[in-house]
Amino acid sequence: EAEEAGADGILAVTPYYNKCTQGGLVRYYSEIAECTKLPIIMYNVPGRTGCNILPETAAKIFQEVENVVAIKEATGSVAQASQLMYLTDGRIDLYSGEDGIVVPLMSIGAIGVISVWSNVAPKDVHDMCMAFFDGDTKKAMEIQLKAQPLIEALFSEVNPIPVKKALNLMGMEAGPLRSPLTEMTDANAAKLAEAMKNYGIKLA
């Protein structure tokens, strides 16, 4: 249905609640791939799903399933990502799923980030990535580290609660949250607003 609607690709998260084995993950992504010609990005976020695509499994899927081309790596483990890049000879398109370690992951071959931070500071995230690709790792590092307090504030409650609050604070009118998500606490909202102002984001 996504392909018919004109999607350019699919970001497919691992199963959740019904935890599966590593073999089950191979079958899961293979079955998705059989249903579409679209390129597929595996989404590895065990903190949310309770299911971790191990490097050996991700490599096997990438090597055996033609249209699985990339992974959004949100384990927070540079070591795990490094092992995956080793097992795939750096050929898998690796995207950081963690805003706080984009540059470290790019140093082992990541080609970008699927980002929360970019919703409120898209130019900085773009410039950080391009600086790295242009060989200016010092500039990339400086942009990454400057954002650390903001990133911390954007993850002070369950995503996407803080980023939606941030967009509303910027006057973007992103609207309320749907249940079971709840509005940000006043204390954390104040810290978020302060982090945004300190970063240089203009509030409405």
Residues annotated as catalytic (active site), given as ranges: 43, 72
Q: Report the alpha-carbon distance of residue 198 to residue 169 in Å, rounded.
A: 14
Tokens of 170: 């910027």
Q: Report the alpha-carbon distance of residue 7 to residue 38 in Å, rounded.
A: 8
Give CA separation, 166 vs 79, 118, 121, 148, 199, in Å.
Answer: 32, 12, 11, 16, 12
Q: Report the alpha-carbon distance of residue 137 to residue 33 in Å, rounded.
A: 36
CA proximity to 68, closest of 98, 83, 88, 97: 88
